[in-house]
Structure 1
């Protein structure tokens, strides 16, 4: 009996003890790997390392860094990562563009991996950024270097659907967020808990700890566990004990890699400032952009309304460089698209607020222009950090009003080297008249200009540094005219000499004001009496139709399609010298519409509506004049009056009239002779073609036994033109109708007609008209032959 054959075991047929042994072996191997990694981290001192491969990192992190092309360590990364890997709290300060993002992302991945974090453990690391754009950039870098790990990460920022984020937030291990959105989830997302958070990261920490985010950040920190690791990174770090105590930091390590450097800004950055009067700022900016069309530029302004106004006006002035604008009141989808477009562009100009001043990495930015001075030196450092990143070169230009020149002292104290420059006279250019024209044509643009003026004044009035920013020292009337406004807005709350004087007059006793009024001349007294004697019925009679061209529109009104205004009643706009009760010269420009050669007074809505129609405007415009050009190319009217002196020198009028008639008569005769000769040649050519055609027909009839249907060829030339109709079809030759001779009767005429038809082509004769289908078939068979 042969021995039994043993079949090979399948993978699923292995004994249970074999599977458990493999799992135990794997767990043991992982435990040894974790223990070895922990030992390497604790023994690592970080001295002399220059590459990521020399750090005690996991294989997954090293693979992600290699695929993202991160190899060499920067100064902040070389000093911060070893301390963060050991679980220490870190305060990192370094210049803009020095690689602070990797300095906290690498420790986040490593610490969660060493703690064997899984999806079931919930949220383990919270990364907070002050702006949406910076949070998106951090999340993109996290996805690149963490692709080999199994952590789940999410981006939680405003502008997206809250419900979608709520469903995924419970499964996230790492969250990159903005403070406001995270606090909203803590209030509205059911079941969200932050009790197990291991790491808190604040990017641009000085901005998050500022007054704008104070209450929001305090509410978030109250929900975080006390035992956690905190990492704070920024270009300008805070050292305030009270601020650090709010965050609950324990013996933090302060790392300032560039604190001993000669400059607080990158070494490859050339910085300049220019003393520019406030009314000349837009002119100077326009001239600068016209002379730098092939570069990539970022222009910073102080408010969203200014960004929108400058973008809309400069876009219509056709500078010659692609323009983009970015501010905090745009939709999130638009902000993402604009950021992507500017990053991919080679030549472009981005008008922006401080929303992009921190952390954003735009590649190859050549110039950073600060149209409005920043609030402090730290904001200046963050703004100019958009260029000269990662040891590259760049340039920065700061516009300062004459009253703001002391701001350079603030920069010097922060170790910011900056040089003063001036504008060349040959490059100066004024766009004031063009802006006035744009605002006159577009009421919405005029409204936006008023709001831009208001927001600029508001931003100056709320500045902390009162020695530099003085609203009362600025020429606001000239500034309003420079941006295209017809009148200077009156600012409520401006503490100037005029405002103080008006307040003193208002608070004076009535008797004293009456005595001062009596001291004036008689004419002013009569005018005042007339004004005081006006009643509400007088004002009602003088009331006008309200439209965009009346004086009513000089006041600041709310546009239905405009964004909601949260500025309150801090500022109000009113036309300078405008009084709705006293008609004045200010009414004329807003009540008339000028077209070439005519001025139309708009006194009703019907006329206003009529002027919006292009057809009606064409009717009102004068008709054009026909011109002729001489041999030298100069334009003349068809009939021009001769100079009176030259006319008299030529002789008496009667003699000149006869001479003119003789010349014109001779010209007409010569033209008549030419026309007759041309007509004669045409007739001759026509007869020649007819003879040629008849000869061809005769030859064809003799050479063939059977009659064939003849295709006539259309002659080329003048004869062909005579035979073509209006639609281009060949017509029969118009033969003159032959008159009956005196000796012919009707039968002779019919025979001649049939003979002529036979000469032109084949003719089928029928004895009588066809009456039924059989007669038609007979006639058709005769035609076919």
Structure 2
């Protein structure tokens, strides 16, 4: 049966879109939600499930898809207050679900107020202290709000192009950010408008409101409107009136579900500490990793360079468990990759700084090891909060130096943190000192990294505000450097004051009197503090403008002075003064000065000090004083002679007159060259004659061959003429070859052979004169001329 045809819409009418139906349902749902929110019981909240709260269908669908059904304690108290638009100070243990406690009110409040679309502008700003925590919050926001909500949400944490973030930021309704990057956009992005901001959320508020982010947060708050809803959440919440006034909170509700609890940490967390001297911490850490290879561990250190050194050292020793490291100096892409790998791993060990101590939700972490003591009890609570999350079990251990035990236990006891002391078994403890020394000796980069790690640790102890717990003078720094494999403890220079940058940038008027010149006149009247100083006054008060002028004037005055009394009066004020006069006469020789004769040295050696006496025992120093040996060889008869019998230039000049020797050498060389030149000329001449004769013979044969067929009667004469010519040529060639033969030699023999050849040629020429043509005569003439 064919399917029925669908009716085409009228050309003048548009087809009804399903989106309009959805919008119509939303419009009907919003008044009902608003009425339900107004009827919420804020004082005695007895809600246990998300379905009991007046939430929109898209939010419920997102919670169901993420398998969130039951409310935690902080969510039961904070979500109804957030839905009602109240300012909240939320404090709860780590891993108690604080993220959903502020994300659900953000989605619901903007949903009920129709704050959707690019024209609505920014409606909610969520600020996180670290990039990793901001990414985690954004992922939860996507999972919850990605099932029907139409908000435009974005992540602004840096690491990307600023222009791309600026283009996307103007269309966002919800933004998750870090303080520094958001302040940069508020001050530089012209199209970014926050006048309609409805909600401000600060996650890990105690960390954001401290000195590290105080300036950025204050600047951000100045940009935001006063009429807004503000929510602060953290495991250790602040109650300072100054902090609350900075954020313009209006009658905030303090929600602390675990305020009456006996401990500030989760119930399933087992906490221990062990007394570990500073030089033994690396050995104890290595032994712990060897015993927990099948566990998922986070190791906290105080500085990023320490993280790098421990990671590189342990990685080369191959402990048998995957190692990762995380610190603030890494690139954003690297940090995200390390966070992902550690989250998905079943067994791994992550070395990290406090950048991973707050808010990060790593699943199934078994151990939290704190090699370096935290700066305070709040940092300890956040560190151990990476394990035992969502009512799971976990274990944490803290390594304490004996000097840190009393102060740290007192601080933890004030925060209701129970810790138990445990001892390390000496049999299972392994020393890695020799292995680290070997690696640092072979690899200079690892050694340099270890020196930087040592300096970073010492600096982190020095800048601590708790001087009772962290006592620099009681730490065995020399032994600690030795345990790291370093040849010695690097020298560390600390600047004066707790804040070197503030001291450097402070004005001159605020510096101590010790920094000023001591040569100022004490009788000068003190300047009134109430009198304002102009720029010109401050310019003339400078002490370094004429630093050379006074000394130059003294030098000029000394030339005009005639008496020594004037010079003595100014002696104390001169730039260069004479404190002691040493006589120029040489000092008398002491009793221990002596001359020592050493074998192999041409003359005696002067020994006038202990250093010179010590130099006598050095083989390398003595080689410089001894004469250099000469290489000898033995001839066939067994006699020794120098290998290179070369006469020196000085000896040759002494026994030989240079000018006469040069002239004699030039004459000898000239004679030798002339003799060789005559010989070369004669050889060249013989070759030319032989070549010319052969060419003439070849031409003659060709010519006779052509004439043979034409004239038969003259064959006999031509043959006689040819034979005579050949005999003549053979005689000329034989004359050159037979010159060396015979009894005579020298010039007489040459003259005799030359005369004989001339006579023979003249006779032959006379006999053949009548029968030779012009060419034959030319050949003979050329031969006579050559000879």
- TM range, normalised to the smaller chain? 0.5 to 0.7
8 Å CA contact 1:365, 1:387 repeated in 2: yes
Aligned to 1:34: 30
Aligned to 2:137: 138
Question: What is the rounded CA distance, in whole Å, between the counterparts of 1:331 and 1:201 in structure 2?
Answer: 26
Aligned to 1:409: 410
Taking structure 1 as the reference length, the TM-score comes to: 0.61
8 Å CA contact 1:160, 1:332 repeated in 2: no
Question: What is the rounded CA distance, in whole Å, between the counterparts of 1:155 and 1:421 in structure 2?
Answer: 44
| Alpha-carbon offset, residue 162 of structure 1 | 1.6
Change (3 A) 1:261 1:15: same
Aligned to 2:483: 482
Change (3 A) 1:24 1:285: closer
Question: What is the rounded CA distance, in whole Å, between the counterparts of 1:217 and 1:116 in structure 2?
Answer: 28
Equivalent residue in structure 1 for 2:39, among 18, 38, 43 = 43
| Alpha-carbon offset, residue 48 of structure 1 | 2.2
Question: What is the rounded CA distance, in whole Å, between the counterparts of 1:366 and 1:191 in structure 2?
Answer: 47
Question: What is the rounded CA distance, in whole Å, between the counterparts of 1:473 and 1:235 in structure 2?
Answer: 33
SS at match of 2:213: helix
Question: What is the rounded CA distance, in whole Å, between the counterparts of 2:303 and 2:10 in structure 1?
Answer: 68
Question: What is the rounded CA distance, in whole Å, between the counterparts of 1:25 and 1:328 in structure 2?
Answer: 49
Change (3 A) 1:19 1:384: closer
Question: What is the rounded CA distance, in whole Å, between the counterparts of 2:103 and 2:65 in structure 1?
Answer: 16
Aligned to 1:69: 67
Question: What is the rounded CA distance, in whole Å, between the counterparts of 2:16 and 2:267 in structure 1?
Answer: 61
| Alpha-carbon offset, residue 183 of structure 1 | 1.0
Change (3 A) 1:186 1:292: same
Aligned to 1:432: 433
Change (3 A) 1:414 1:8: closer
Question: What is the rounded CA distance, in whole Å, between the counterparts of 1:329 and 1:338 in structure 2?
Answer: 13
SS at match of 2:324: strand
1:625-636 equivalence runs, <5 A: none
| Alpha-carbon offset, residue 32 of structure 1 | 3.9
8 Å CA contact 1:298, 1:349 repeated in 2: yes
Question: What is the rounded CA distance, in whole Å, between the counterparts of 1:444 and 1:132 in structure 2?
Answer: 30
The answer to whether structure 1 residue 461 and structure 2 residue 457 are counterparts is no
8 Å CA contact 1:472, 1:494 repeated in 2: no
Aligned to 1:207: 207
Question: What is the rounded CA distance, in whole Å, between the counterparts of 1:330 and 1:15 in structure 2?
Answer: 59
Segments ≥4 residues shifted beyond 6 Å = 22-28
| Alpha-carbon offset, residue 158 of structure 1 | 2.1
Change (3 A) 1:325 1:28: closer
Question: What is the rounded CA distance, in whole Å, between the counterparts of 1:369 and 1:425 in structure 2?
Answer: 19
1:119-518 equivalence runs, <5 A: 119=117, 120-147=119-146, 148-406=148-406, 407-493=408-494
8 Å CA contact 1:94, 1:236 repeated in 2: yes
Q: Which runs of 5+ in 2 are unaligned?
A: 497-578, 580-590, 592-610, 621-787
| Alpha-carbon offset, residue 8 of structure 1 | 9.6
Question: What is the rounded CA distance, in whole Å, between the counterparts of 2:340 and 2:20 in structure 1?
Answer: 49
SS at match of 2:403: helix
Question: What is the rounded CA distance, in whole Å, between the counterparts of 1:130 and 1:14 in structure 2?
Answer: 56
The Cα offsets for residues 709-747 of structure 1, whole Å up to 9 and x where unpaired, read as xxxxxxxxxxxxxxxxxxxxxxxxxxxxxxxxxxxxxxx
| Alpha-carbon offset, residue 56 of structure 1 | 0.2
Question: What is the rounded CA distance, in whole Å, between the counterparts of 2:21 and 2:448 in structure 1?
Answer: 74
Change (3 A) 1:150 1:457: same
| Alpha-carbon offset, residue 28 of structure 1 | 7.1
SS at match of 1:372: coil
Question: What is the rounded CA distance, in whole Å, between the counterparts of 2:71 and 2:134 in structure 1?
Answer: 22
| Alpha-carbon offset, residue 490 of structure 1 | 2.6
Change (3 A) 1:29 1:61: closer
| Alpha-carbon offset, residue 269 of structure 1 | 0.3
8 Å CA contact 1:326, 1:351 repeated in 2: yes
Change (3 A) 1:492 1:57: same
8 Å CA contact 1:276, 1:402 repeated in 2: yes
The Cα offsets for residues 84-110 of structure 1, whole Å up to 9 and x where unpaired, read as 000000110000000000000000000
Equivalent residue in structure 2 for 1:106, among 99, 104, 107 = 104
1:655-666 equivalence runs, <5 A: none
SS at match of 1:351: strand
Question: What is the rounded CA distance, in whole Å, between the counterparts of 1:425 and 1:28 in structure 2?
Answer: 73
Question: What is the rounded CA distance, in whole Å, between the counterparts of 2:416 and 2:261 in structure 1?
Answer: 9
Change (3 A) 1:470 1:31: same
Equivalent residue in structure 2 for 1:57, among 50, 55, 62 = 55
Change (3 A) 1:399 1:8: closer
Question: What is the rounded CA distance, in whole Å, between the counterparts of 1:58 and 1:23 in structure 2?
Answer: 17
8 Å CA contact 1:129, 1:203 repeated in 2: yes
| Alpha-carbon offset, residue 415 of structure 1 | 0.4
8 Å CA contact 1:275, 1:399 repeated in 2: yes
Equivalent residue in structure 1 for 2:79, among 78, 81, 95 = 81
Change (3 A) 1:486 1:107: same
The Cα offsets for residues 276-325 of structure 1, whole Å up to 9 and x where unpaired, read as 11000000000110111100000000000000000000001111111000
Question: What is the rounded CA distance, in whole Å, between the counterparts of 2:52 and 2:298 in structure 1?
Answer: 38
| Alpha-carbon offset, residue 30 of structure 1 | 4.5
| Alpha-carbon offset, residue 429 of structure 1 | 1.3
Question: What is the rounded CA distance, in whole Å, between the counterparts of 1:493 and 1:218 in structure 2?
Answer: 31
Question: What is the rounded CA distance, in whole Å, between the counterparts of 2:10 and 2:215 in structure 1?
Answer: 59
| Alpha-carbon offset, residue 12 of structure 1 | 3.9
Change (3 A) 1:472 1:27: closer
| Alpha-carbon offset, residue 11 of structure 1 | 2.7
| Alpha-carbon offset, residue 29 of structure 1 | 5.7
Question: What is the rounded CA distance, in whole Å, between the counterparts of 1:420 and 1:281 in structure 2?
Answer: 16
Change (3 A) 1:420 1:195: same
Q: CA RMSD in A?
A: 2.9
Change (3 A) 1:285 1:35: same
Question: What is the rounded CA distance, in whole Å, between the counterparts of 1:487 and 1:320 in structure 2?
Answer: 30
Name the stretch that deviates more: 156-165 or 77-86. 156-165
Aligned to 2:541: none
| Alpha-carbon offset, residue 165 of structure 1 | 1.1
Change (3 A) 1:329 1:13: same
Question: What is the rounded CA distance, in whole Å, between the counterparts of 1:335 and 1:280 in structure 2?
Answer: 30
| Alpha-carbon offset, residue 209 of structure 1 | 0.2
Question: What is the rounded CA distance, in whole Å, between the counterparts of 1:253 and 1:309 in structure 2?
Answer: 46
Q: Which runs of 5+ in 1 are unaligned?
A: 1-6, 496-513, 515-525, 527-580, 592-785
SS at match of 1:175: strand
The Cα offsets for residues 587-634 of structure 1, whole Å up to 9 and x where unpaired, read as x9xx9xxxxxxxxxxxxxxxxxxxxxxxxxxxxxxxxxxxxxxxxxxx
Question: What is the rounded CA distance, in whole Å, between the counterparts of 1:118 and 1:285 in structure 2?
Answer: 52
Question: What is the rounded CA distance, in whole Å, between the counterparts of 2:266 and 2:238 in structure 1?
Answer: 20
The Cα offsets for residues 138-189 of structure 1, whole Å up to 9 and x where unpaired, read as 0000000001200011111122222221111111111000101111112222
Question: What is the rounded CA distance, in whole Å, between the counterparts of 2:286 and 2:235 in structure 1?
Answer: 31
